[in-house]
Amino acid sequence: MQKIDLIKIYQRKTALVIDDFPDMRGTIRRMLMNFGVAAVEIAGSGDEAIAFCENRAFDIILCDYNLGDGKNGQQILEELRYRGLLKHTGIYMMITAETTKSMVFGALEYQPDDYLAKPFAQPVLQKRLDRLMLEKAVLFDINQAMDKQDYARAAALCEQLGTEAGRYEQKSLRLKAQCCLKQGRIAEARAIYERVLKERPLDWAQIGLGRCLMEMGELDQAESLFRQLIDQKCLCLEIYDCLAEIQCGKGDIFAAQQLLEHASEISPNAILRQQLLAEISQSNGDWERAEKAHRKIVRLGANSCYESPENYFNLARCIATQMRRDDTGNSRRLKEAEEVLERARRRYRDDEQVRLQTDLISAELRARAGELESARHILAAARDRIGDEAPATAVTLGLARAFQALGDRATAQRLLQELTERHPHDEAIGQAVDRLSDEPLSRKGKEEAVLLNSQGKQLLAAQQYLQAIALFGQALRHYPNNIALKLNLLLALVRQMNIGGANANQLRRCTRLIENIPPLAADHPLHERLHVLWDHVDKLSEQLRAATENSVA
């Protein structure tokens, strides 16, 4: 394209420069204006930049990766994409000081169009931008279809472009595979990635292939592919998320938690990963780790697209769950959790639903801390405000939790039962209810429980304990309060150690499980089973201790 044409194109573009150094912002801005860009805005922080993008769409965004204490360039990119504030037809260029371990590459979907290393001369920036503009012009229809989330059309357009794509052939293959994955056309995506990998081990194709293998249930193959990428020192943290998902699929949520912890250490500010880490740590009964993650989520969520009262509620409940009867730390924990709730009240001052939920959690907290009277008092006041009409789902769930904490499991169970009956076809509600309930109440949950039970029995009978551990471990993520399930997992772990010897990791898992089972009355149908298993665990702990002492001696 002729230079004069490019100037005309630049004149129609709008640009945003994000850098925390005013001098640098000014320099880059002047460069863009020299190219002919008419409107160049500047922002000094991620929050400022996002506020700009909420008001208008920019054609070109140049963003420094390292912006001091606030969001980094990758997080800004992710938030803009996630919220649809950055079009695929636009250009996002990341400016970097260096490539080191401290710089993290986003998931495939969240990668910038280009990286530009500092310091750079004006003609270099111009050449890069010229080329990107040409590319965006050739791929305009495809990118536009992706913006409209019409992935079928985007994939078809890539196909149509075919060999015409010329130098953009690889780019268009990459986009096509991405669209196929989005649409569940896994075999097609896989074929593309395999074709590319035949020539070169490119990381985007390796990760893509790994994702396909996961979708196809080939977990072992996917795992070895991702392990290989880690050996190659690939810095894309999506790998760890995928590996964690694979471990979950295999039922080893302990390993999954370790992987996510590792990735969070490298990049502590990725909120989606923190959410997954919180959820998985909770499933593992590791409430301390979960609390850490929830705190991070509250902090990172503030003023972002992930801001939600749920973030505060989850943190408060997580603190509450760590309260034990007659524990001296309880009053401190209660205070901490109340502070979190107070912040939620202030933040959502005018939202009655949020205030109701906050009060119900407050009742739950007090009940757990043993302050039964004030818990009952708060609960009664909240119920008065709710009145006779059926409350919102979240409020009903909050009521059920409060009753559970007060030891009134019958009322809690009745509330949950009624909720499922009111929404028999709502899977999300069914799942939420089943998470709280001692046993699944939703239709789907009941069906799954029957299936799980028979599969589990078969595995136990066939002495395939590791598979049984995987099966029950995975199910527990969906039914974390299901006592029978916990006992089954406990049983599988104990039997495995009976043949394979006591093992510290598995014993820790057993102890966590037992700690997280509520006290069962002597006439509870599962009471005896729990105590038999408990004795086994104690014996195994004893064995392990003796073995360690011997080896030390």
Closer residue to other proteins (CB): 67 or 399: 67
Please select the residue that binds other proteins; options are 30, 56, 385, 443, rule is CB under 8 A.
30
**Least Cβ distance, residue 405 to other proteins (angstroms):** 48
CA–CA separation, 246 vs 217, rounded Å?
9
Q: Is 422 in the site for other proteins (CB under 8 A)?
A: no
CA–CA separation, 63 vs 67, rounded Å?
9
**Chain centroid offset of residue 519 CA:** 31
Name the residue among 435, 467, 472, 470 with its Cα closest to residue 451: 472
Q: What character string, x for contact with other proteins (CB under 8 A) and - otherwise, covers 62-101?
A: -----------------------------------xxxxx
- What single-letter amino acid sits at 281? S
Q: How far apart are the first and last CA of the chain?
A: 79
Please select the residue that binds other proteins; options are 5, 23, 388, 421, rule is CB under 8 A.
23
Closer residue to other proteins (CB): 97 or 390: 97
Closer residue to other proteins (CB): 24 or 191: 24
Query: Which range, of 2-10, 231-239, 312-320, 451-459, touches other proteins by CB under 8 A?
Result: 231-239
**In the chain, what is the greatest distance between 2 CA atoms, to the nearest angstrom?**
87
**Least Cβ distance, residue 406 to other proteins (angstroms):** 53
CB 408 within 8 A of CB 453: no
**Least Cβ distance, residue 61 to other proteins (angstroms):** 20
Name the residue among 76, 79, 87, 82 with its Cα closest to residue 46: 76
**Least Cβ distance, residue 163 to other proteins (angstroms):** 13
Closer residue to other proteins (CB): 239 or 341: 239
Q: Is 128 in the site for other proteins (CB under 8 A)?
A: yes
Name the residue among 229, 322, 246, 308 with its Cα closest to residue 272: 308
HEC string of 253-279? HHHHHHHHHHHHHHCCCCHHHHHHHHH
Span 161-190, contacts to other proteins by CB under 8 A: 166-167, 170
Closer residue to other proteins (CB): 124 or 216: 124
Please select the residue that binds other proteins; options are 121, 428, 522, 553, rule is CB under 8 A.
121
Span 309-348, contacts to other proteins by CB under 8 A: none
Query: Which range, of 120-128, 151-159, 334-342, 504-512, touches other proteins by CB under 8 A?
Result: 120-128
Please select the residue that binds other proteins; options are 120, 427, 447, 458, rule is CB under 8 A.
120
Please select the residue that binds other proteins; options are 51, 117, 504, 546, rule is CB under 8 A.
117
> For the range 527-530, what are the long-range contacts, defined as Cβ-Cβ under 8 Å and sequence gap of 24 or more?
529/487, 530/487
Please select the residue that binds other proteins; options are 7, 124, 152, 450, rule is CB under 8 A.
124
For residue 4, give the H/E element and its range: helix 3-11
Helix (H, G, I), strand (E, B) or coil at 184: coil
Q: What character string, x for contact with other proteins (CB under 8 A) and - otherwise, covers 191-230?
A: ---------xxxx---------------------------
- What single-letter amino acid sits at 288? E
According to DSSP, the β-strands at 60-64 and 14-18 are: parallel
DSSP assignment of 32-85, as one string? HHHHT-SEEEEESSHHHHHHHHHH---SEEEEES--TTS--HHHHHHHHHHTT-
- What single-letter amino acid sits at 69? D
**Least Cβ distance, residue 233 to other proteins (angstroms):** 5
Hey, what are 466's tokens? 């590791």
**Least Cβ distance, residue 94 to other proteins (angstroms):** 12
CA–CA separation, 475 vs 477, rounded Å?
5
Total residues contacting other proteins by CB under 8 A comes to 33
- Note the residues at the interface with other proteins (CB under 8 A): 21, 23-24, 27, 30, 97-101, 115, 117-124, 126-128, 131, 166-167, 170, 200-203, 233-235
